[in-house]
Amino acid sequence: MKSSFSVSPWAVAVQSFVDKADNSLYNKSYKDFQFDIFCTTNALCITVNGPKNTRLLFLPAYSPDSGLLLKTLNEQDGALHIKLQSAIGKFDVTISWPEQDFTSLRYTTCFMPASDMFIPFWPKDVVINGENSIPEGDTLVQQVGTRSGMLYCPFTKPRGGSFLYLQNLTALADYCQLTETSVAASVTSRWPEMGFSLPPAIKKPLPSGKKITISDAIVVLDPNTPKDEGTMTRQFLDMLANAYLIMPRPETKFHDWPDILGKGLKDLLNNSGCWSHVKGREYFNAYVSDYKTPPEIMVQLAVILPLLDYQEWNGQKIPVINEVKNNLSEFYDPKLKTITRWLPAAKEMLDGGEEQKNPNVMDSWYLHHPLLNLSRLAIKGDEIARKLFFGSIDYAIKVARKFKYQWPVFYQMETLEVIKPETVPGKGGEKDVPGAYAHVMLQAYELTKDKRYLKEAEKAAKTLKGLGFELFYQANNTAFSAGAMIRLYKLTGEQDYLDLSYLCLANIFRNCRLWDCNYGYGKYFPSFFTLFPLNDAPYTAVYEEQEVFCALRDYLRHSEGTPLLPSAMLLICEYVRYMVNRAAYYYPPMLPSEMLEDKQQTGELDPKLWIALEDLHDGWEKCGKVGQEVYGAGNAFGILPRLYYRISGDDWLIGCDYPIAQYKCKGKKATFHIQGDSRLICRLVIVPNKKQQLPGVTIRATGRNEPIEGNLFKDGHSEYSLPGNQDVEVSW
């Protein structure tokens, strides 16, 4: 076989065997693909022959001693069950072809070592092959850190289709626990070899005689190669949703969010570590007991807006909102005619130790995030916010035009001199800021109907085209960008904006963790479907997750009446469901104290304080190293009003962990539409007042004649399991 690609000896050996083999152990034609299974002297191999002579080799089992023997092969319940044996131990492999929209393959491998065994190396389980030469292609997505064990690869020469590979890393928990290893960066690509390899076990061996899972791979195949960025994005979202429906998913549990919020509000208002005092005024700290950093406007607004959401939902005044809001004007610079990041009255606290810790240095997204929140306040009728917003917007436009709608990381506010042009050399600046800027401009357009703001939004939006999977800089800004693009689509009818909204979503889901870290400290908190704050961040973070949660729900609200991609709906609703399940574990009292870091980079950590940690890590790393995040206090205040609907006149709640649309309540009946996908299940809850019993409640859903039965729990709340995409009626 001729090829310009470099390959390992393991790939050469299996390719050579397959090329020379006359007969396979098993073959299957499925849709546009032909599957064959071979057993070589050192590997079990599944070949997939696709369009234009492209071929994929998948290796569920590997034995370096070249003595792999097939013991049994049985077909049962639509799956193949294969037993293999070699000098190193026994393998049980299950191979199936799940019925989904795309051609799909799943193989799961269990291994029982013959003796205590170190594993210093394990080859990748995917090899690209072809009839006469190795096809060329692009690896557009691969695992970074502890994100999903995922690859997305279209063939480009020849244009022989695309595949998405997803390793269910949850299944590797026993292996990682026994060997004290991590699955971080275990799914990578170096074309034509790629996929998953076992983390090297060099600290502790696998014990003999214990059967453990060493691979659980899902492959989604499409005979089409995307022709442009729009079709690429759709294909990725569709294939990912297809794989998601196949993969095992952990159960969720009910959390008492009203109780969590009450504890968090008490600590936020009363704990002195959450506050700074500057010239007789009070401001929120960024981190608990951080007195070395001056107040930031982003922090003030990041707490005020979720508090305001809760106040409007609850109907009871929270005086601190106005107290802090009245201080926002202190961040305005009349000379520059804009708000600034740092409080000017405390600028002497900045030591210049980092690039941004200078009074007039701006991190690009830090200007737009406060403007976005000021515009939200202005839309609610707040005159102080409106004055600050429109008093700053011309400066924001000047900066945008100066940088041609492509922002650097840091710039000098007076001269607009670029201080740091790129995140890393060759990678560009903060690439999702054009979307955040477009969102700000659309807010200005909503407030004024001045079309110059709409034109600014469109100019910025167009610079997102062509960024592909490099668009993501910071999770919340990418989510805001998705919302801005769907709004532009509805205002203009231009398909490009709908495609760009999907591109933003694809970047978000690329940066998630579709597995549960059940080893080490990871056993103490759920982590399935977490989202990472930056594209290279080593941990997940509460502030960005809470804002993405709110932004994605807002995205669904704006998308009503549009032909929203079903896969996008599925993935958004599942992220929301798991976020509601996971977010409670950002609070230190929910975690054992032994997994919390003793020393923080910023401020202090109080394990009893209901202020969320910034950072949750891989299972072998302690959490809370960065600090306890006051500006992440919006966690509960953002979730609760979007999770529950209050029944007016009665003191009880209807909640759902999927987003709800078209909610109406009249008399003794509430009706609404649960969004999502009918192939997946969500949780509907009825939560009573602590002092009263629930009334008799009846739940009915689309297409069901009989009421839905629920489960009543000791604390008085009841739960009902419902498929997504249902019209629901609650009566009492």
Indicate which CATH number applies to the domain containing 101.
2.70.98
**Mean of pLDDT values over 151-157:** 97
Of the candidates 112, 243, 251, the residue with the CA atom closest to the CA atom of residue 174:
112
| pLDDT score of 2 more than 60 | no
**Using one digit for the tens of pLDDT, what is the confidence trace for 308-325?**
999 999 999 999 999 999
CB 250 within 8 A of CB 170: yes
Q: What is the pLDDT of residue 109?
A: 98
Q: Does 59 fall in a domain?
A: yes
CB atoms within 10 A of CB 398: 13
Give the CA-trace dihedral at 81, 86, 88, 89, to 10 degrees: 40
**Using one digit for the tens of pLDDT, what is the confidence trace for 585-623?**
999 999 999 999 999 999 999 999 999 999 999 999 999
**Using one digit for the tens of pLDDT, what is the confidence trace for 549-559?**
999 999 999 99
CB 546 within 8 A of CB 306: yes
Against a cut of 0.85, is the pTM above it? yes
Number of domains the chain is built from: 2
Residue where the block lists tokens 């690896």: 139
**Mean of pLDDT values over 508-529:** 98
pLDDT band at 405 (very low <50, low <70, confident <90, very high): very high
Token output for 212: 């453990």
pLDDT higher at 196 or 64: 196
pLDDT higher at 572 or 648: 572
Q: Does 214 fall in a domain?
A: yes
Indicate which CATH number applies to the domain containing 655.
2.60.40
Examine the fold and report which residue of 246, 274, 309 is the final residue of a domain before the chain moves on.
246
Cα separations in angstroms, 348 against 293, 331, 335, 359, 413: 10, 14, 19, 8, 17
Percent of the chain at pLDDT above 90? 90
Segments forming the whole domain that contains residue 670 = 647-731
Residue where the block lists tokens 């034509």: 192
The C-alpha atoms of residue 582 and residue 253 are separated, in whole angstroms, by 9
If you ran DSSP here, which 8-state letter would residue 147 be given? S
If you ran DSSP here, which 8-state letter would residue 729 be given? E
Q: Does 352 fall in a domain?
A: no
**Mean of pLDDT values over 401-412:** 98
Contacts of 319 (CB under 8 A, 6+ apart): none
Cα separations in angstroms, 510 against 140, 144, 504, 529, 570: 10, 9, 10, 11, 15
Q: Does 591 fall in a domain?
A: no
Q: What is the pLDDT of residue 4?
A: 58
**Mean of pLDDT values over 297-314:** 96
Q: Is the peptide bond before 158 cis (omega within 30 degrees of 0)?
A: yes
Q: Does 476 fall in a domain?
A: no
Q: Does 158 fall in a domain?
A: yes
pLDDT band at 1 (very low <50, low <70, confident <90, very high): very low
**Using one digit for the tens of pLDDT, what is the confidence trace for 416-449?**
999 999 999 999 999 999 999 999 999 999 999 9
The C-alpha atoms of residue 289 and residue 276 are separated, in whole angstroms, by 9
| pLDDT score of 696 more than 90 | no
Q: What is the pLDDT of residue 689?
A: 76
Q: Does 448 fall in a domain?
A: no
Q: What is the CA radius of gyration of the chain?
A: 27
Residue where the block lists tokens 């199936």: 96
Token output for 379: 């839309």
Q: What is the pLDDT of residue 642?
A: 96
CB 93 within 8 A of CB 61: yes
Contacts of 16 (CB under 8 A, 6+ apart): none
Of the candidates 378, 403, 380, the residue with the CA atom closest to the CA atom of residue 392:
378
Q: What is the pLDDT of residue 207?
A: 97
Token output for 433: 């800021």
Q: Does 122 fall in a domain?
A: yes
**Using one digit for the tens of pLDDT, what is the confidence trace for 531-544?**
999 999 999 999 99
Q: What is the pLDDT of residue 3?
A: 44
pLDDT band at 691 (very low <50, low <70, confident <90, very high): low
Examine the fold and report which residue of 246, 280, 304 is the final residue of a domain before the chain moves on.
246
Examine the fold and report which residue of 213, 246, 279 is the final residue of a domain before the chain moves on.
246
Token output for 471: 């668009």
Q: What is the pLDDT of residue 661?
A: 96
The DSSP annotation for 307-370 comes to HHHHHHHH----THHHHHHTTGGGGEETTTTEE-SB-GGGGGG---SSTT-STTEEEHHHHHHH
